[in-house]
A = this chain, B = another copy of it.
């Protein structure tokens, strides 16, 4: 079997995780990673044996000066690849797209870009099929991924009328919390609804979902609270079964020593997950409450990790190497150790 040749443009929080995940896939080959930095971040890619490219001649020269064994520039990396995963910062990807198109390469952008940049937004359990053979897609943001994943599970069980969510967003990524962030305050998003609700509708326009969001002074993960109008009175067991339909939702118990974001992070680290990453949406089972035809629940989203499996599936969909969503999802889950129960 021919392996898909994958290039990664941008070796930051997402890029390095996508690179590691690509390396774990037996149907993919990592052709290289491209960046603009010259410090420890890209040196770790060298140490891992990943082919390193500079964004252009100027950046490549600087990287060489810093003793980084640069193989070439972005153009050369793209030349060698079937598909490029753009993991550059928000809004930068849109500027790279003309180059990808010119070189006839398939590409994936992430949630920082607008839906219109690709015309397709991806959710592995939602619309894998419509991405097959496309030139490009957008893997939606961490929060949106979690929303679509959980609400689709409820929708597929015939339980969903509408959903209203409150998102507590971590202040900044841990590795750059020395640069910016908030301390001892809370920062609501200016607009109600916040953008995540409409963003979920780019994957499934039928979802009646409205979100509000607040930045909170912590860096570990997001926390979501949801209030869902069900189609009818339902039992807690029915709801849990519905969530069980997604292989990427894990149920946890508050009473199992998991009463807060930090405890779940420690569990991931103890499980040996790279960076302590959690690819699953972790829903508190014992906290979840059904009252009449209303459902209330809370879950944690690891904003650095949740989009990684989706990105791997998106690679298979765009390149058509796997035409069945279920098979790709299963393969990705196995490679990353994704579970519905952690212990």
Contacts and interface: CB of A to CB of B under 8 A. Distances in A.
Contact of A184 (B185, B220, B296): B220
A70 B288 CA distance: 52
A259 interface: yes
Interface string A215-227: 0111110010101
A186 B223 contact: yes
Given A186-B223, A188-B254, A168 B216 contact: yes
Given A218-B217, A225-B214, A287-B191, A185 B254 contact: no
A105 interface: no
Nearest to A215: B260
Contacts of A259: 187-188, 190
A100 interface: no
A295 to B, nearest CB: 10
Nearest to A297: B192
A196 B193 CA distance: 25
Given A168-B216, A212-B298, A190 B289 contact: no
Contacts of A191: 287
B192 A298 contact: yes
Contact of A289 (B188, B193, B218): B193
A262 interface: yes
Nearest to A300: B186
A327 to B, nearest CB: 36
Contacts of A25: none
Interface residues of A, number: 41
A235 interface: no
Nearest to A166: B166
Contacts of A255: 190
Nearest to A299: B188
Contacts of A225: 166, 212, 214
Contact of A164 (B219, B223, B227, B287): B227
A261 interface: yes
Interface string A173-198: 00000000011111110111100000
- 6 nearest interchain CB pairs? A166-B166, A185-B262, A192-B289, A187-B260, A184-B218, A192-B296
Interface of A: 164, 166, 168, 182-188, 190-193, 210, 212, 214, 216-220, 223, 225, 227, 254-255, 259-262, 284, 286-289, 291, 294, 296-298
Given A212-B298, A214-B298, 19 more contacts: A164-B164, A184-B219, A185-B261, A186-B216, A186-B218, A186-B260, A187-B259, A187-B260, A188-B284, A188-B298, A190-B254, A191-B287, A192-B289, A192-B297, A192-B298, A193-B291, A212-B296, A216-B218, A217-B217
21 contacts: A166-B166, A168-B168, A168-B214, A182-B260, A184-B217, A184-B220, A185-B220, A185-B261, A188-B254, A188-B260, A190-B255, A190-B259, A191-B287, A192-B296, A193-B289, A193-B291, A210-B294, A210-B296, A212-B225, A214-B225, A216-B218
